[in-house]
């Protein structure tokens, strides 16, 4: 089983690897943090009898979820604080990316309109959405007491979903590479759906604003 998901999944070092990956993927969204969480959860399922070969070390589901959640919140807060302090360097870095500038403008409008709560949770599943929302919340000087609870909920939701995919996928399909692949595909599907909804949200807000303006004119 461990030949298919990686030997580190059967070592206590898996927690450090997961924490580091989740913490850093707010800066480098291509890091496979979700895949690592799924691998570790698959290993936990194998240790509870989902597979034929029981590993020497079995990751703890609760510890894995707590580890991923904590690292997610810490990463969000680091980016939030950096954006809060701002500076010319950060502004220039954002300005160089047309995609990031556009996303920041659209998400900034959504954050202002809805307080940002549901959007922070949704963004945790979308590719690079977590980074953009944390940057936007910090740059807009949102209060940390408004941002932190939603960041914690977002991190917990994402961690629970990823752990559940790996754990139950292994129980249902067996602790093999097939179960891991199906779980990873489900994670990517959730990310694609979240990204779509995030793009639709600002568009809906713009349409609503236009309708109100037209009504006022009439």
Domain ranges of the chain: 2-217
CA separation for the pair 116, 196 (Å, rounded)? 17
CA separation for the pair 126, 46 (Å, rounded)? 29
CA separation for the pair 2, 203 (Å, rounded)? 45
Residue 10 clears pLDDT 70, i.e. is over it: no
pLDDT mean over 165-179: 84
CA separation for the pair 66, 61 (Å, rounded)? 9
pLDDT mean over 74-101: 77
Q: Please provide the average confidence, as pLDDT, over all residues in the chain.
A: 77
pLDDT mean over 110-115: 58
pLDDT mean over 35-39: 91
Better pLDDT: 131 or 216: 131
Structure tokens at 85: 């302090």
CA separation for the pair 82, 28 (Å, rounded)? 15
Q: What is the pLDDT of residue 72?
A: 95
Confidence band (pLDDT; 50, 70, 90) for 155? very high
Q: What is the pLDDT of residue 160?
A: 96
Distances (CA, A) of 148 to 66, 120, 123, 133, 138: 16, 10, 14, 12, 11
Confidence band (pLDDT; 50, 70, 90) for 107? low
């Amino acid at each position: 089983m461990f030949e298919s998901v990686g030997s580190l999944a059967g070592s206590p070092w898996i927690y450090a690897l997961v924490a580091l990956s989740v913490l850093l993927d707010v800066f480098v969204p291509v890091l496979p943090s979700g895949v690592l969480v799924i691998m570790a959860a698959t290993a936990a399922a194998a240790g509870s009898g989902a597979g034929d070969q029981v590993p020497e070390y079995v990751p703890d589901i609760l510890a894995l979820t707590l580890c991923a959640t904590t690292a997610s919140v810490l990463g969000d807060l680091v980016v939030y604080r950096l954006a809060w302090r701002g500076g010319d360097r950060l502004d220039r870095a954002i300005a160089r990316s047309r995609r990031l500038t556009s996303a920041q403008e659209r998400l900034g409008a959504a954050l202002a309109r809805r307080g940002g709560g549901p959007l922070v949770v949704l963004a945790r599943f979308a590719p690079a959405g977590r980074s953009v929302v944390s940057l936007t919340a910090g740059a807009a000087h949102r209060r940390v007491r408004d941002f932190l609870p939603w960041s914690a909920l977002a991190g917990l939701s994402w961690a629970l979903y990823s752990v559940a995919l790996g754990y139950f996928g292994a129980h249902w399909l067996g602790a093999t590479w097939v179960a891991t692949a199906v779980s990873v595909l489900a994670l990517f599907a959730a990310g694609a759906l979240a990204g779509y909804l995030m793009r639709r949200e600002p568009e809906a807000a713009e349409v609503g604003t236009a309708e109100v303006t037209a009504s006022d004119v009439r």
